Chain A
Amino acid sequence: MAPDPRSGGSATGVGASIVRPDAIAKVRGEFEFATDLRAAGMLWGATLRSPHPLARILKVDLTPARRIPGVRAVLGAWDVPVNTFGAVDKDTPVLADDMVRYVGEPVAIVAAQSPALARQAIDAIVVTYEPMRPVTDALEALAAGHVYRHVSMTHGDPDVVGEVQAEGEYLTPRQDHSFLAPDAGLARPDGRDGVEVIGASQWVHADREQIAACLALPEEKVLVVNSGIGGSFGGRVSMTWQVHGALLALHTGRPVKFVYSRHETFLARYHRHPSRIWLRHHANRDGTLVKLEARILLEDGPYSHTAAAGIGNSCSLIQGPYNVPNASIEGWAVATNNGMCGSMRGFGVVEPIFACESNMDRLARTLGIDGAELRRRNLIRSGDTWTFRQVQDRPAPVSELVDLCQAMALPPAPSADRPMSARVALPGGVATPTRPRHVRRGIGLAAAVKNTCFSEGCPVNSTALLTLHNGIATVDCAAAEVGQGFVAVAIQVVQSTLGVNEVRVAACDTGMPPAASTDAQQQTITSGPAIHLAAARLKERFLQFFGREHGLDAATLDIRDDFVVSRQGGRLASVAEAGMGLVFRATERFDQRTTRPVDDPHATEPVHVALSFSANRCVLDVDVELGLVRVVQMDVVQDAGRVANPALALGQVTGGSLMGLGFALSESLEYRDGRPVNGNWRDYRLPRMADAPVVNCRFVERPVPGIPFGFNGIGEMPHVQAPAAILSALRDATGLDLPAAPATAGRIALTGSDAVPMRLSDSALEAFKGPGRARIGKFLRFQRVER
């Protein structure tokens, strides 16, 4: 299906592109984001942060700040009842205690009458540090045994050798989510010894659990509410200001608001983990893959955060969407002091797909086969077994995706005499110094796979409550709307299942039963079914009531377009009248199938709930002298299960592709000696409108079995595939290896010297078999016992 980009029209239900319910308020600037919250008597919070990547705290003197008139509270680590929290493992201090372990780590917090006073108070706090030598290199961390999780797995016969081998080592950047709305929110005492925390979260229930634990309060004393969320992309799963705000609100008895600056948003939050990946593909001369050897090193921060899940994803999907009969795969998530790392769109999968596809390009060159042809020969099919012992028991239409992708129309060739007014369309964009005769065109193709839902034993489920009153249905489901459009999908599911078109979606808070996190492209596939089940149950109850009232057999009745109808389709009564003013309710929970750790040799469950696939062809122009790139077109064909709202799904593809373009060409948060050097949007280069290519998209709909409507995940895939396709096209145009993303102008123009030394190959790895495996942080739930 080629999705129509427009929304609106009279169609309703799953498959229609209804206008999202918040669109009008958003386009008028009236939608309330977390940054916009206000309350009477509100104080402003601010945070003192560590200037050192690693240091002992010798002394913290808060008194100068406390003396400033208008400053209402100044708190340090000793004021936090239970001073650790964490999205997975509780090893992150709320406020640094004896040590700081990254630049930006919070040390003290204040609440004052104005933002300026709060900043002044922060400046007045005196902290004495004893700086220490930080660990800033992931290889050094590995050698020293600072390992959060070590995954080791083999598949088939790991000793088989292929006729042809291709080997390479690849690097990927520390990407920042750079959602547009900075971290912000408001905490206020609820007047009953509890606290309300109103902000922007991917998962309110996980926040509540952590906030309550840190405050030593029972969970029912903490209400976490989502206000409007200005983007997330995996970046709001771990808390920043929330516990600070709650503490200050309880201390002052007043509402306290935090709004981070952009620089602070860079410092305080985690980023995508940088990776170093070595792999060697073995193949027969005809291009059939025989074996994959891989070593994956993910750099995580000084606290474990989501490190374990990231390396699990990486190790399982390093094989790409290919059938690999034999494999030996090893991975490490290690700790450094270069700031926090964690989940971001395509978590732990963007990196291995980039490496796998890059090495597939290399294998194609070695074999002298066309890259698309090499891929086509090895694509995974339904019934094949993954390296992690999971049978692909669901559709895997990858060859169809590749064929459709290649069949899409190519853009016209670049012309050497483009008028000056169209410079924006040339490599380098607005005001580019490029010369048309240096511009070469490249075309590359990549295929990709991504897991949908949390994997490896994480329970994934959602509960939805549906209410019907006077013909209007209301959905209570604590699924976070971060911009992706779940609020529209929720409405459409109710329209399809219940037959009522007037549907409202209640704002999300922890007063509702828990739903899945907005993560791992799992919301539509998990909360969608929960809402469907609740709607189906509600309809059954409603029709039974109507049948009883009117002496009819409920089994002969249905609801369509807001009317109770007979089997023949005749309208009997409007739902609004038929309900006789009563309130009908139903609540249902939907559970995804259970999964197991990737390296568990005994368990028989799958590792991933579901997998989704895509193919992407990239066409770009590159100025080979200056290294400037203009991505002209991306042709994306994605396996989408069933598309709930085509216009919104397309928005995920265009947005995710551009975020992948940033990863491929410009985005990298650099650290030098443990200090971030470009934590602002001047120096951290995000794609702009001039950089946006034409994105052509087709969805292939193969309903996922066992999922109502057959939904699959959509939102992460475009980001996963784009970097691999862009780099492939760049290699095509330049003949360079380009083993590292982002392929900046400097890297492209520096012909010949871009090789990444093999630090993770068999021989090099010996140097890093460190003595013990002392961990920074605690064992994670997935961590296996030492071999």
Chain B
Amino acid sequence: MNRHALLSCRLRINGASHDVEDVHFGDTLLEVLRDRLGLVGTKQGCEDGQCGACTVLIDGQPVNSCLELAAETVGREIVTIEGYNRRDGSLTPLQEALVRQAAIQCGFCIPGIVLAAESLLAERPDATEDDIRTEMDGNLCRCTGYSSILAAILEVAETRRGS
């Protein structure tokens, strides 16, 4: 396909359809979400697949949206932090645990961490500390030293196991 061709795309984001005009084939999903649709809860940290700040869920899987071409996500179900949040403003158990464990400092890494951790918990409800350390390796946080984030995810895993 011609690199410079402009496309119009219909993207499924947070349960709604969005028509985006004049998308370059090379535009990343991150660029379209943030710059075109104003969904700025998804963060840009490195545009290089290294930090996970741009994590969104595509068909339930965590994906670095900076590495995903927007045009190639047509027809797939995209969930951003805006779609993950509860409508009534209350926090999910994972979000509550992150707040309780004081895992939020600058908070720039957090939307990506919430989505990555939620899909980890969905996939592996029995996740151990070692599993979490392994699976969350793609999400950088420069502020917390991770121990509070780890404690929060573990707390949710344990609560779910207990119930």
Contacts and interface: CB of A to CB of B under 8 A. Distances in A.
Contacts of A686: 140, 142
A656 B104 CA distance: 15
Contacts of B141: 180, 689
Given A180-B45, A688-B140, A651 B102 contact: yes
Q: Bin chain A's interface residue count.
A: 35 or more
Given A27-B91, A262-B47, A654-B148, A422 B104 contact: no
A27 B98 contact: yes
Centre residue among B38, B82, B108, B143 by max chain A CB count within 10 A: B143
Interface string B106-129: 111111001000000000000010
Contacts of B109: 180
A115 B47 CA distance: 14
B130 interface: yes
Nearest to A17: B102
Interface in B69-101: 80-82, 85, 89, 91, 95, 98-101
B163 interface: no
A41 B82 CA distance: 25
Nearest to A483: B106
Nearest to B44: A35
Interface residues on B, range: 35 or more
Nearest to A20: B104
Interface string A28-56: 11111101101000000000000000000
A521 to B, nearest CB: 15
Contacts of A424: 130, 133-134
A764 interface: no
A267 to B, nearest CB: 14
Given A7-B99, A689-B132, A656 B108 contact: no
A204 interface: no
Nearest to A178: B142
Nearest to B94: A27
B145 A35 contact: no
B102 A7 contact: yes
Contact of B144 (A33, A233, A655, A694): A655
A27 B110 contact: yes
A182 B142 CA distance: 12
A236 to B, nearest CB: 11
A8 B42 CA distance: 27
Interface in B24-46: 24, 31, 34-35, 38, 40-46
Nearest to A265: B46
Contacts of A5: 101-102, 147-148, 151
A30 to B, nearest CB: 7
Which secondary structure dominates where chain B touches chain A?
loop
A176 to B, nearest CB: 10
Contacts of A178: 142
A38 B102 contact: no
Contact of A681 (B38, B110, B140, B144): B140
A643 to B, nearest CB: 13
A388 to B, nearest CB: 32
Contacts of B67: none
B50 interface: yes
Contacts of A429: 137
A680 B46 contact: yes
A27 B145 contact: no
Given A262-B46, A657-B145, A26 B134 contact: no
B106 A688 contact: no
A41 B43 CA distance: 22
B99 A23 contact: yes
A680 B50 contact: yes
A27 B82 contact: no
B53 interface: yes
Interface in A278-317: none
A422 B130 CA distance: 6
B150 A181 contact: no
Nearest to A656: B145
Contacts of B106: 179-181, 228-232, 482-483
Given A36-B40, A181-B108, A261 B47 contact: yes
Interface of B: 24, 31, 34-35, 38, 40-48, 50-51, 53, 80-82, 85, 89, 91, 95, 98-102, 104-111, 114, 128, 130-134, 136-137, 139-151
14 contacts: A24-B91, A177-B142, A180-B45, A482-B106, A483-B106, A483-B143, A680-B48, A681-B48, A681-B51, A686-B142, A688-B137, A689-B132, A689-B146, A692-B146
Interface of A: 5-8, 17, 19-20, 22-24, 26-33, 35-36, 38, 115-116, 177-182, 228-233, 259, 261-262, 421-422, 424-425, 429-430, 482-485, 647-648, 650-651, 653-659, 680-682, 686, 688-690, 692, 694-695
